[in-house]
Amino acid sequence: MVATLVLSAFMVALGEAHKHRSQHHGLHVTFYEHTCPKRKPPPPPNSYALRGLEVLDDAKAQLEAACPCIVSCTDTIALATRDASVLVGIPHYSVPCGHRDSCSSRAIDVLNNLPAPFYDLPTLTHNFEYRNLNVEDFVALSGAHSIVNAHCSSFGYGLYGHSHAYSMDKTYADELKHICPPITLPCFTNPVVKLSKDSTHKMDGSYYSCLRKNQAFLPLDHALMTSSKTRTIMRKMALHPDWWARKFGLAMEKIGTIGILTGGQGEVRSSCRYVNGGE
């Protein structure tokens, strides 16, 4: 049932939701607009990333109608992420079920647990290793940027040569400047750009080929080029997209084991937007 609800356009959004749930037992900052309408936290770098929430709402509503208080939001998000991944080219991978939802949702956890797009490689590596994800997992998961978009505000400081500037193909950088004006301009509207130049609607590993040509723009992406170990993994994934796709699925399986609640822990939410009784 979930597979029929999830279109390929939601793949990245659902993947983001799965990562957010796994890493801090809660949901993305946009969920807190419902539970904490007066809160004013600083927006995280990827505050625009999570979309397609109505798809999850629909799936959860149908599950609750058929078998109330049985299937958690945690499992719903994980299954939807897997099915959406398959729709855009990733081989089927296992999703353990029977997990429960947290009884709390804290906006600050989003800021504290998600890697920022400007992190360098050592910081990123530590961030993933802390959650039992190795360097190969990190490089494989980065391949999701094959079909991801980003707002200009997430990379503009590097595009215009500020202190955090990084290497980028000059022709590609000039193309981006036509789309993204300096973020300091009063008329700045924060347009959206594909994360890699050859981005498609399929997960095909093209991201790695673009990155090797310096045709990606997040510092997080370029960080992969700063180590011989990550460059070697990246080259193999560019040359063998089927191998990369399998590694991506295995890494997603590992994400599904982070911070899980089982047995009498937590609750099974009736709505993924609220803790029970919090609407």
Q: Is 204 flagged in the annotation as binding?
A: yes
Name 143's Cβ contacts closer than 8 Å, sequence gap at least 6: 203, 205, 207, 208, 237, 244, 248
Contact between 245 and 92 (Cβ < 8 Å): no
Residue with tokens 């400047």: 177
DSSP 182-215: -TTSTT----EEESBTT--SS--SHHHHHHHTT-
Q: Is 57 flagged in the annotation as binding?
A: no
Q: Is 25 flagged in the annotation as binding?
A: no
Measured between alpha carbons, how far is 104 from 121 in angstroms, rounded to an integer? 32
Contact between 1 and 79 (Cβ < 8 Å): no
Binding residues for Ca(2+): 204
Binding residues for substrate: 115
Binding residues: 115, 145, 204
Binding residues for heme b: 145
